[in-house]
């Protein structure tokens, strides 16, 4: 008899964005005449920039020749891309990272999910609340949580760190000792950021407690304010305690193309039961070689092109386009009387739903009455209740249309 991994039975029925997609498909089927504007999942709408396309075309031609053909590439990524990452994303910011501390992958979602492989099951995990569901669900799957409590909407054995308007969206240090800490800044879903000083508090905590910070920086390209770190490694001491995840998805429109990377400095150590310090870089390398055969050459060439002068310029324009959408949404919602957070250093807009309504009730009302899809805050965790997320990744045309609809919406009467 084959036994299953029963941890999966502890999971909630469906992944948040799948539940939403199902609800929207159902509504759409029953209301085929309605024009639905999707500002739910953070998927980009602008095409891949010309510099990357050109690099891809060139790579396609190259692999069609005998000399240029590529079989299996290095599991960790081609040297040309790892070098470009080190030079542009780290050295240019004064951070010293070596190419063999960078692992190229097919997405930050996969990296954030797979990283749990190298950690012991009895580690205590802390997540911010609300949170990107992947961090929580993958720890539930791998047995680091207890049972789900319907009453509180939380799992046993997981430490939840509230991030709400009451604490200015800055998580407080856990009261108990934790071993793995997930931080995502600019934050998904709240769109808020931490300063270098705020992050230093976490790095110091991790050092004191021999914990690891799993830092998701997928949205760093949207940062515009000073003193907001683009990488946790800009914070002194972080190279001893942090793993960083980065993605080309939201930056360069690779949500469908798939490319990302994870940085594990060789100075980051985990411990055996007997207290021996082990380089996490080595473990991740071993895991990568066993379970992954690398991102395709074509895609890595496209990712490399994001660092060329034309690539950088074109990407900046795309980010500017989404940032303009974020401004339109923020301003429009404020004019419509909503309280709004995020949206400045982030493509996410986090709003307070009207008093007396739950996030899911607001989701249904918004979908049914003005045909706009967003993401209910409670889907990201219990402290997301009473909030709602919209993304700036739509087209400008749809963004303007959505805001017009919201402004003309009599929310109390439909």
Q: Which residues of 351-361 are buried (b: 16+ CB within 10 A; e: fewer)?
A: bbbbeeeebbe
What is the C-alpha to C-alpha distance for residues 193 and 342, in angstroms, rounded to an integer? 8
Nearer to ligand MLT, 296 or 391 (CB): 391
CB contact at 8 A, 52 and 306 = yes
Nearest distance from C-beta of residue 96 to ligand MLT, angstroms: 29
CB contact at 8 A, 343 and 349 = yes
Verify binding: residue 142, ligand MLT, rule CB under 6 A.
Answer: no
Query: Beta-strand (E) ranges in 300-357?
Result: 340-342, 348-352
Nearest distance from C-beta of residue 42 to ligand MLT, angstroms: 3
Verify binding: residue 139, ligand MLT, rule CB under 6 A.
Answer: no
Single out the residue of 20, 42, 233, 350 in contact with ligand MLT (rule: CB under 6 A): 42
CB contact at 8 A, 222 and 324 = no
Q: Which of 139, 238, 247 is nearest to 186 (CA)?
A: 247
Which region among 38-46, 117-125, 144-152, 268-276 touches ligand MLT (by CB under 6 A)?
Answer: 38-46
What's the DSSP call for residue 255?
Answer: T
Q: How many residues does the chain have?
A: 414
Nearest distance from C-beta of residue 132 to ligand MLT, angstroms: 6
Single out the residue of 38, 82, 109, 383 in contact with ligand MLT (rule: CB under 6 A): 109
- What Rg, from alpha-carbon coordinates, does the chain have? 21
Q: In the β-sheet with 340-342, what is the strand arrangement from edge to edge?
A: 340-342, 348-352, 387-391, 375-376
Verify binding: residue 188, ligand MLT, rule CB under 6 A.
Answer: yes
Measured on CA atoms in the order 331, 254, 113, 84, is the torsion positive or negative? negative
How many CB atoms within 10 Å of residue 10? 16
Cα distance from N-terminal residue to C-terminal residue, the chain: 55
Nearer to ligand MLT, 211 or 306 (CB): 306
Nearer to ligand MLT, 189 or 270 (CB): 189
Which region among 35-43, 94-102, 261-269, 290-298 touches ligand MLT (by CB under 6 A)?
Answer: 35-43
Nearest distance from C-beta of residue 367 to ligand MLT, angstroms: 16
Verify binding: residue 41, ligand MLT, rule CB under 6 A.
Answer: yes
Verify binding: residue 258, ligand MLT, rule CB under 6 A.
Answer: no
Nearer to ligand MLT, 239 or 323 (CB): 323
Number of residues that bind ligand MLT (CB under 6 A): 6
Nearest distance from C-beta of residue 224 to ligand MLT, angstroms: 20
Nearest distance from C-beta of residue 373 to ligand MLT, angstroms: 11
Which region among 20-28, 37-45, 68-76, 221-229 touches ligand MLT (by CB under 6 A)?
Answer: 37-45
Longest dimension (CA), the chain: 68
Which residues of the chain form contacts with ligand MLT (CB under 6 A)? 41-43, 109, 132, 188
């Amino acid at each position: 008899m084959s036994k299953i991994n029963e941890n999966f039975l502890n999971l909630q029925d469906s992944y948040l964005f799948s539940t939403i997609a199902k609800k929207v498909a159902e509504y759409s089927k029953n209301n085929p005449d309605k024009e639905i504007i999707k500002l739910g999942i953070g998927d980009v709408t602008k095409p891949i920039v010309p510099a990357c396309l050109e690099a891809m075309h060139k790579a396609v031609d190259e692999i069609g020749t005998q000399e240029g053909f590529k079989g299996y590439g290095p599991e960790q990524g081609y040297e040309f891309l790892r070098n470009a990452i080190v030079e542009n994303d780290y050295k240019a910011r004064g951070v010293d990272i070596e190419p063999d501390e960078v692992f190229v992958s097919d997405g930050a979602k996969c990296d954030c999910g797979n990283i749990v492989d190298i950690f012991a099951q009895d580690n205590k995990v802390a997540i911010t609340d609300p949170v990107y569901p992947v961090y929580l669900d993958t720890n539930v799957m791998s047995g680091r949580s207890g049972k789900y409590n319907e009453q509180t909407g939380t799992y046993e054995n997981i430490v939840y760190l509230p991030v709400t308007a009451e604490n200015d969206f800055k998580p407080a240090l856990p009261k108990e000792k934790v071993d793995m800490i997930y931080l995502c800044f600019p934050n998904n879903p709240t769109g808020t950021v931490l300063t270098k000083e705020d992050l230093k508090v976490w790095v110091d905590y991790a050092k004191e407690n021999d914990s690891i910070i799993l830092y998701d920086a997928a949205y760093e390209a949207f940062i515009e304010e000073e003193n907001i770190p683009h990488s946790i490694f800009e914070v002194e001491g972080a190279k001893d305690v942090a793993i960083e995840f980065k993605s080309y998805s939201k930056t360069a429109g690779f949500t469908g193309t798939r490319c990302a990377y994870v940085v594990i400095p060789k100075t980051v150590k985990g411990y055996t039961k007997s207290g021996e310090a082990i380089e996490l870089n080595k473990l991740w390398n071993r895991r990568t070689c066993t379970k992954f055969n690398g991102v395709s050459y074509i895609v890595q060439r496209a990712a490399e092109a994001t660092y060329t002068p034309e690539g950088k310029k074109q990407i900046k324009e795309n980010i500017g386009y989404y940032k303009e959408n974020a401004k339109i949404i923020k301003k429009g919602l404020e004019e419509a009387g909503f309280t709004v957070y995020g949206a400045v250093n982030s493509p996410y807009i986090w709003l307070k739903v009207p008093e007396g309504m739950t996030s899911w009730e607001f989701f249904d009302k918004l979908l049914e009455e003005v045909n706009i899809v967003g993401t209910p805050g409670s889907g990201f965790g219990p402290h997301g209740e009473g909030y709602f997320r919209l993304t700036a990744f739509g087209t400008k045309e749809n963004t303007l249309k959505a805001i017009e609809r919201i402004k003309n919406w009599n929310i109390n009467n439909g």
